[in-house]
């Protein structure tokens, strides 16, 4: 039977500006790595922060980051056994000689002078600070950055004196073997986890029914009565593949990551600049069940946000930039699990100029035949400061210039359309490289 699950809707759009003409070929490198092992048992949750993960070093440009959950033999693990709620990767600076523990988290390290989290460009100032991140749909959703663009990292001129540049990986996986309610466990409904406080020991807010505050690391989702969980311990890893190029400013155009959240509390007011200090992102929201049943049961959530930069956005005034459709599984094998979204279609919209102060409007359409908890609506945006010259632009465009848009979602049952409307308004213990 088809089911609906947590949604993490993510859209990557390329915004670009100005003009140069790169003429050299770009040599893309690739390497795959395994995260430290995570030991799972039926109903268990792993949600660790893993510091200093294996990652390409030096001054480079990121071209893509793909990931999936595998077992100790390297076999992909299906979502209906180990549900990948999400993974995210963060760059950070740490004082030389200091080793951070997996018990540390970015939240309680945020004010430490020994550790500096490198956030994306915005707009959220409080939580959504990663560079890449996806969920259950990760196997069939591309994150490739088309030429001549790349995400510039590791510039030695930007590393503070006495610090080192490293990467952090957060994996959130839920073992749903033998649980009483797979959908409820993946949506992190508090009653199934028997928790009344969050991971920091703080009481849950009144009325909080489900979300990440109830399914944090080492929590346990309820198992079916009589289920034999003996001899079912499993070791899993996040296998991640990084694509990159050595940085060459004569060939590459730098792109910067922005993330927009449909739960952002920002509202336009007199004197607003759109700066991230004006934004507070709640990250999750609940979808209430429809009062009537049928095809019309769709929850619509909208948010308009002012863009604090100049550039080119992939679109034209007042029209839909991209409608991204979910790819549903129809079997048992990893990558095609029935009842799950296993990928999202991609969009390559045309660049359109956007001016500081103009508005990007987000719209999420979500089935609410039944209610859902812990729903997310995140849009990933890449912003570059230069546009290729006319000749190289045409060549790049023929091989998919524009920038790939992707949606990270986990839902099933009905077709989900997430539209972005642009209106002209103001990471055995230790790491292991698998291939190069």
DSSP codes, 98-140 = ----TT--HHHHTT-TTEEE---S-B-SSS---SEEE-GGGGB
**How much is the pLDDT for 278?**
86
Mean pLDDT is lowest, of 89-103, 153-167, 333-347, for 333-347
**How much is the pLDDT for 416?**
30
Confidence of residue 402 (pLDDT cuts 50, 70, 90): very low
Indicate if the alpha-carbon torsion angle 403, 242, 252, 254 is positive or negative. positive
Is 60 exceeded by the pLDDT of residue 8?
no
Confidence of residue 57 (pLDDT cuts 50, 70, 90): very high
**How much is the pLDDT for 187?**
96
Q: What is the mean pLDDT of residues 201-217?
A: 95
| Torsion on CA atoms 409, 321, 398, 387, rounded to nearest 10 | -110
**How much is the pLDDT for 354?**
67
Confidence of residue 411 (pLDDT cuts 50, 70, 90): very low
Q: How far is CA 168 from CA 27, 49, 74, in A?
A: 26, 7, 22
Is 80 exceeded by the pLDDT of residue 208?
yes
> How confident is the model over 283-305, as pLDDT tens digits?
999 999 998 876 779 999 999 99
Name 151's bridge partners.
62
Q: What is the mean pLDDT of residues 378-388?
A: 78
Residue 332, SS3 per DSSP? coil
Average pLDDT across the chain, whole number: 79
**How much is the pLDDT for 212?**
95
Is 50 exceeded by the pLDDT of residue 412?
no
Is 70 exceeded by the pLDDT of residue 425?
no
Q: Give yes or no for a contact between 376 and 256, defined as CB atoms under 8 angstroms apart.
A: no
Confidence of residue 399 (pLDDT cuts 50, 70, 90): very low
> How confident is the model over 26-56, as pLDDT tens digits?
899 999 999 999 999 999 999 999 999 999 9
> How confident is the model over 300-312, as pLDDT tens digits?
999 999 888 876 5
Query: Distance (Å, rounded) from C-alpha 388 to C-alpha 395?
Result: 10
pLDDT top residue among 55 and 396 = 55
> How confident is the model over 138-160, as pLDDT tens digits?
998 878 888 888 999 999 999 99
pLDDT top residue among 399 and 350 = 350
pLDDT top residue among 10 and 210 = 210
- Supply 120's token pair: 């994306």
Q: What is the mean pLDDT of residues 155-184?
A: 96
**How much is the pLDDT for 351?**
59
Nearest Cα residue to 180 out of 143, 229, 131, 147: 229
pLDDT top residue among 225 and 353 = 225
pTM of the shown model: 0.81
**How much is the pLDDT for 12?**
42
């Amino acid at each position: 039977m088809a089911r609906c699950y947590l949604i993490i809707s993510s859209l990557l759009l390329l915004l670009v500006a100005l003009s140069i003409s790169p003429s050299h070929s770009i040599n893309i490198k690739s390497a795959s790595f395994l995260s430290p092992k995570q030991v799972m048992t039926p109903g268990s949750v792993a949600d660790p922060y893993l510091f200093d993960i294996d990652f390409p070093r030096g001054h480079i440009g990121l071209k893509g980051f793909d990931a999936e959950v595998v077992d100790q033999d390297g076999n992909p693990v299906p979502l209906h056994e180990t549900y990948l709620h999400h993974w995210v990767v963060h760059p950070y600076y740490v004082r030389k000689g200091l080793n951070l523990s997996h018990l540390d988290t970015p939240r309680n390290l945020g004010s430490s002078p020994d550790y500096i989290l490198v956030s994306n460009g915005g707009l959220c100032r409080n939580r959504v600070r990663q560079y890449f991140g996806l969920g259950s749909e990760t196997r069939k959703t591309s994150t490739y950055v088309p030429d001549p663009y790349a995400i510039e990292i590791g510039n030695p001129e930007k590393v503070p004196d006495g610090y080192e540049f490293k990467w952090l990986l957060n994996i959130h996986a839920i073992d749903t073997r033998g649980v009483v309610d797979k959908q409820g466990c993946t949506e992190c409904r508090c009653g199934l986890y028997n928790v009344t406080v969050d991971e920091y020991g703080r009481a849950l807010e009144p009325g909080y029914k489900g979300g990440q505050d109830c399914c944090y690391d080492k929590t346990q989702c309820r198992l079916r009565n009589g289920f034999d969980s003996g001899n079912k311990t499993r070791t899993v890893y996040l296998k991640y593949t990084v694509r990159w190029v050595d940085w060459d400013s004569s060939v590459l155009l730098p792109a910067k990551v922005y993330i927009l959240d449909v739960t952002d509390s920002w509202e336009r007011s007199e004197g607003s600049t759109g700066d991230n200090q004006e934004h507070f992102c709640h990250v999750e929201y609940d979808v209430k069940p429809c009062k009537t049943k049928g095809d019309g049961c769709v929850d619509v959530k909208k948010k308009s946000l002012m863009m604090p930069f100049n550039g080119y956005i992939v679109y034209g005034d007042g029209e839909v930039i991209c409608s991204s459709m979910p790819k549903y599984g129809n079997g048992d094998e990893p990558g095609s699990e029935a009842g799950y979204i296993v990928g999202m279609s991609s969009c390559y919209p045309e660049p359109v100029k956007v001016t500081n102060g103009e508005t990007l409007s987000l719209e999420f359409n979500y089935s609410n035949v039944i209610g859902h908890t812990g729903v997310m609506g995140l849009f990933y945006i890449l912003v570059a400061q230069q546009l290729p010259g006319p000749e190289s632009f045409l060549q790049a465009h023929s091989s998919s210039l524009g920038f790939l848009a992707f949606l990270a979602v986990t839902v099933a049952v009905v077709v989900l359309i997430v539209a972005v409307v642009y209106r002209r308004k103001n990471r055995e213990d230790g790491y292991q490289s698998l291939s190069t």
